[in-house]
Amino acid sequence: MAYIGKTPTLVPLTSSDIATDIINNTHIGDTAISGFDALATAPADTDEFLVSDAGTLKRIDYSLIKGGGITVADQFRVTADMTSNQDPISSNIERIDTAGQGGLTDSQMSVSSGIFTFPATGIYLVDAFGTGTINSSGDNISLSISVTTDNSNYNYVAAGNDGTSGNGNTHCTCQSFIDVTDTSNVKVKFAVGSIGSGSKFHGETTYNSTCFTFIRLADT
């Protein structure tokens, strides 16, 4: 730029030269880095962050830097007594909802006709616990977990049973790690068996008497 007379001395612009609030988000391009827009939900896996790689700014997807930890923690209970064998347990099932109970609500299990579907792949701890009453000597009650990897054929992966000498209350439990590599094909079901006349598994609507727990521990 040409000047008539003496060329003015160049002076760097400082913050004191800019009036407070004179620049707002209408003056900043969409690609500029600013704090005007807040992310109201958890980032998507394809959302990008800026990182300094040995002094060079680079973009990186959230999926590559997000933390691990437990992302699924869900629990269901049976709400009515079971007086006969069931495979799978398909009725009177509810997600826990008593005041003070809870789980992670962003990613939850689903159940249809007693078949439980996982919300994401990963390594899960699946636990089954049941309380019951045995009516006569020689009776026992059993509780089991079965898994399918092809959405069709099931294999036992855990089982527990208990009996008492004569009438009495009892309980049984079983658990297993499940490697969920495909949420469409890897599913689980629960069963109760060996229930003689007068014996039963307990179900309750306000607390866990017979229940199923799902915790995602890590990636597959």
**What would the pLDDT profile of 196-213 be if each residue is shown by its tens digit?**
788 899 999 999 999 999
Mean pLDDT of 56-78: 85
**Does residue 180 carry a pLDDT above 60?**
yes
pLDDT of residue 175: 98
pLDDT of residue 36: 64
Mean pLDDT of 55-69: 79
Mean pLDDT of 101-113: 93
pLDDT of residue 3: 63
pLDDT of residue 142: 92
**Does residue 215 carry a pLDDT above 90?**
yes
Higher pLDDT, 97 or 194: 97
pLDDT of residue 67: 66
Return the number of other C-beta atoms located less than 10 Å from residue 125's C-beta: 15
Mean pLDDT of 122-142: 88
CATH topology of domain 73-218: Jelly Rolls (2.60.120)
**pTM value > 0.75:** no
The Cα–Cα gap between 212 and 208 comes to 9
Quote the mean pLDDT of the chain: 87
